[in-house]
Structure 1
């Protein structure tokens, strides 16, 4: 089993990437590019699991045919190389009929190579089971020699094309996609090393030299590392973008807390008491908090005072606060004052004020970033704190 871990681990990585992609595939099944990516991950995962020595031994024992795993692994590896080409065709884009024609030609060519691999194995005489060094052991055996050469050439073409195109795109994108492409390019470079070791060992056999260690001991770790890099390259843009979005939502959720707490007294009961399940996503929690804030601001409309905003704006300006920041402080002060006035009205028996036909406009309460800015200003500005205290005083004390 330890001999298989070097291939099973990257196989699990590719399987993870495929599982992450499945929901997107279900929603966009008609997208050829999405189907190509998932097919590549599926076939790559199959190659790694089938090529592990424990799996090779199990398949040979199950079928009762020595080296039956050889054409099976080589066929799946050829399908992987064809999947690389199909992915490139769909990535490159173009007219749908041209993409479809190129895809059919590619699948036909690699299908013919796969059939040739099977036929060559049937014609060959390979009675001795080889779990780790079949390529070099049978490198000079008729028909096995051609089969080994054919699969190496097919794999090399797919790997080189995928790596070169990802290298070209690497300079045209940024963010997690750029990092993902860089990992795929690194995986492609390692795969070229794997192919070089395999070709060198086989060619050495043809010239009666013994470089078998290149195929037996050098190539497998390179193949494992290449699969890990490519799998990580496919996963990172998916997980990276998701993680970035989740982290941004989490920061917004936390930074909205001061404003949310400030408006607790003015939120309608159904919004205030509506609970969110503990397993709910951060995005849902942030949306719920924003909805409660907007609800509270709507109920505060009768208490919003342009006089308070203008007074706070004058104070901020006199202290040298930049205009944009001063306007934000003034709006936060107006909201804090309205919250205090609303709370004071709730404690008294005076009737609530009538809704205004033209309440003061809130400039920063529309987008999430504006709410976050208001929330942070509420908890940090001394001008806002002064407006809050003033609104909490009795009317006589306020003008005295």
Structure 2
């Protein structure tokens, strides 16, 4: 396993994200959440870089202090734990309430940083160990204390973050808005990242206990756990930062594509019905998909209203019977009946030559697509447009051709 590649790649990606958020900070200097986010991403990225064996060796050589790179990685990891816990509190609670707890977090984790520095520099560490420092020196009480204090602080912060993120994501999903749903996805992505240091810290503490019990059963997994944690936790961390910002834009893009698909489904039916009254065609903004779909559905509804005098109950009955025989049900069944009625009404209109005034006594045919939800109405007309090309439609028209009277219905 190439530790350097994984650590440096993860650290570089994290620093790029931190710079991206730092660029956005210029407009929001006073927001504690943004500062906490920048600090958390920067510290975990610095931790990953310092953990790379080649980078750690360079730090040790430049400073002349063996294993200093390992110490810095643990310090940055502790800062990450404090910053992310503060970030979640600032996001979930009012600043005054959150600051009450964040002050205690700053004080507590500052004490942890001091203890880590004291125990590290109190230890006798003559040999550089780039990958297995904590296993190699775990027999020293100061190093065992160093690892235990770090592990306990990381577990506490990670557990609190998991609880806060899960609670906030449940609330965000329940709110139902697009932006909050993407925020909830970002929080749950971050839960994967937060669970990684929790697992690594637990393994490190158990490894120290095992080594003091003269067992090396966990040394291999203890060495591999940090790099696996970075490899697994870095992508969700990037997702957690990016999803709340870009997720709603992805939703807008998907809806934009869906509107164009609806437009192309509706266009043949629109061209077919426009002969009812070409004067009702509205001016089109060519590249605005929302306008084009709303416009086309509005015109389809107008033309259907104009066709009411030509809608035959006989066509509806035959269409329903043939749809039943074909095994259609639900919206597909209703759409086929509607498509058959519209096609038959168009044939009747063409038989008149010029458009005629609808009879005020014409029967009313309720449309299954009446809805306050425009999305439902669009979806209904797409079903009708597709049903217009169903092979049953010509068969239905042929079945009613003999008794079809090409005059408007009246009572």
Contact 1:309 1:334 in 2 (8 A): yes
- Aligned-residue Cα RMSD (Å) equals 5.6
**CA spacing shift, 1:138–1:255, aligned 2, 3 Å:** same
Query: 1:130 is paired with a residue of what secondary structure?
Result: coil
TM-score, normalised with respect to structure 2: 0.64
Match of 2:296 in 1: 293
Q: Which residue of 1 aligns with 2:49?
A: 49
Residue pair 1:263, 1:293 contacting (<8 A) in 2 also: yes
1:217–1:40 distance in 2 versus 1, CA, 3 Å: same
- Separation in structure 2 between the aligned mates of residue 209 and residue 320 of structure 1, nearest angstrom: 74
The aligned counterpart of 1:393 is none
The alignment's TM-score, normalised by the length of structure 1, stands at 0.66
Contact 1:15 1:41 in 2 (8 A): yes
Q: How does 1:53-64 map to 2 (within 5 A)?
A: 53-63=53-63
Following the alignment from structure 1 to structure 2, what is the Cα–Cα distance between the partners of residues 25 and 319? 64
Provide structure 2 residue ranges, at least 5 long, that are not aligned to the other structure: 175-180, 399-404
What is the correspondence of 1:1-400 to structure 2 with a 5 Å cutoff?
A: 2-8=2-8, 11=11, 39-63=39-63, 65-90=65-90, 93-94=92-93, 96-118=95-117, 121=120, 126-139=125-138, 146-163=145-162, 191-203=197-209, 213-214=219-220, 217-224=223-230, 226-227=232-233, 231=237, 234=240, 250=257, 253-264=260-271, 271=284, 274=286, 276=287, 285=289, 287=290, 289-294=292-297, 296-297=299-300, 300=303, 304-309=306-311, 311=313, 312-316=315-319, 328=335, 332=339, 364=369, 367-381=374-388, 385=393, 398-399=406-407
Q: Measure, in 1, the Cα distance between the counterparts of 2:26 and 2:263.
A: 35
Q: Distance in 1 between matches of 2:230 and 2:406?
A: 75
User: Residue 342 of structure 1: CA displacement?
Assistant: 9.8
The alpha-carbon deviation at position 121 of structure 1 amounts to 4.7
- 305-314 or 119-128, larger mean C-alpha shift: 119-128
Deviations along 1:23-80, one digit per CA (max 9) or x if unpaired, are: 9999998876676566544433332233221222233345454433233212210011
Figure out how many residues of one structure are paired with residues of the other and give that number: 379
Higher relative contact order (CA 8 A, sep 6+): 1
User: Which runs of no fewer than 5 residues in structure 1 stay unpaired?
Assistant: 277-283, 391-396
Query: What's the CA shift for 1:327?
Result: 6.2
Cα pair distance change 1:152/1:375, threshold 3 Å: closer
In structure 1, distance between residues paired with 2:142 and 2:184: 43
Q: CA deviation at 1:100?
A: 2.1
